[in-house]
Structure formats: structure tokens, C-alpha cells
Structure 1
């Protein structure tokens, strides 16, 4: 291999490494997926959590764990960034949270009882 071919080969390898590394680094700044874990501090047993389409026509299950009072779900990851309607199914009722915004990254949701008997949520 002559000197010019060797330089081109080295340049191509360095360029490939830089492109691969830059893709990994952008993940630190622009996270296109959301990881969600739920802690249930309410008196209700959660049996499913999913995303509901704005028009109600489509529903996708996100967490299918049974989360009893005092328990936490596993961490589930989906490629959702934006504003959604979250549907939480319990043994007794279904609850919807509208205009829930996910910006990517990890979210830790805590459910508790509200004064009106519904579910209250907060992110920590």
C-alpha cells in the first residue's frame, strides 16, 4: 500500500469513528425515547397504562404490570416524545390524563389518591 492509499484509509476509518461517535453523543442531548416507571401510592390497583390517540381511535399498551398499592412498575421504554393522553386502568375504573408532555429521557410518575376519589399524579 502506498503512502496516499494509507492516508486515505486512515482518514476513512477516523471519519467512520467520528460519525458513529457523534450519533452516540447526540443521544445525550436529543433523547427520542421516554422511559417510564410508576410508583403506586394510591389505594387502587393499577393493571395497565397506555397511550390513547387524541380521537380515541387507537390505544397502545405501555405498561402491562399489575402495580399494587406501595409497589413500583419496571421501567418501560417507548419512542414517544410529544403530548399524549395517558390512560391508566385500575381494577375499578379507567382514568385519563390529557395533555401529558414527554420530552424524552427518564420519567418517574407517582400515583396517589385525590380528594375527589380520582387518581392524582406527579413526576419526581
Structure 2
């Protein structure tokens, strides 16, 4: 009789866990956290995400990040392939096709040898 009760208890636990939400969220992080470090000579005034069809833009990073500073950590439900745009006091710099797989991302912006804005994820 005890084995039957244990089986019923295990079955109830499994069913309740399965019904509590999407099981993939237990294994895949569905949000991306981003922190920006600005080592460039420009002041970054925001980072925008552009929709796949280019019709919608929303601001993800709203901090003004002076040279030598870091932003706070921003979190969004962004998993997949996106276009982003880095806004600085001297203009906007589009970056095409960045893949976010969820989890934490740390990006450092620097000036390259030609004076363009360069980024590297760490």
C-alpha cells in the first residue's frame, strides 16, 4: 500500500510541475541582461532595439554613459536575432544582426583605429 501512495504522490508532483508553466523556461533563460561599459571617446545616450521588419524601435538602455563609465544592468525579454542602434552625442550607429541567447551580456564600446565605434561582448 505504501508503494501505491508514493506513486500517486510522485504523479501529482510531476503533473503540478508540468502545469505550472512552460517547461523550456526551466532550461532556457528567456531574458537577456545587458550591461554596457563605455571606453570610447563618445558619450552613449542610449541603445535602441529595432524590430525585425524595421517598423518599431524601443529604447533598451536609457542611461547616459560617459566615457569611462558603466551602465546599470538592463533586462528585457529579448532572445533571438535583433538589430540594435547605439545612440551617442555625435550620431547613431546601427549594428545589424546581433543574437541574444538569454542570460547576461556585457559589452564594451571602444574607438577603433579609424575613429569608428567598436564593440566587443565579454
TM-score range, shorter chain: 0.7 to 0.9
- C-alpha distance in 2 between matches for 1:116 and 1:123: 20
- Which runs of structure 1 show a deviation greater than 4 angstroms over 4 or more consecutive aligned residues? 25-28
Check the 8 A contact 1:87/1:94 in 2, yes or no.
Answer: yes
Counterpart of 1:62 in structure 2 is: 60
- Aligned pair count reads 117
Counterpart of 1:45 in structure 2 is: 43
Q: For residue 70 of structure 1, give the secondary structure of its aligned residue in structure 2.
A: coil
Alignment gaps of 5+ in structure 1: none
- C-alpha distance in 2 between matches for 1:28 and 1:110: 30
Deviation at 1:118, TM superposition (A): 1.9
Check the 8 A contact 1:95/1:118 in 2, yes or no.
Answer: no
Q: Does 1:109 align with 2:107?
A: yes
Deviation at 1:89, TM superposition (A): 0.4
Q: What is the Cα-based RMSD across aligned positions, in Å?
A: 2.8
Tell me the TM-score normalized by structure 1: 0.80
Q: 1:18-97 counterparts in 2 under 5 A? A: 19=17, 27=25, 29-97=27-95
Deviation at 1:13, TM superposition (A): 9.4
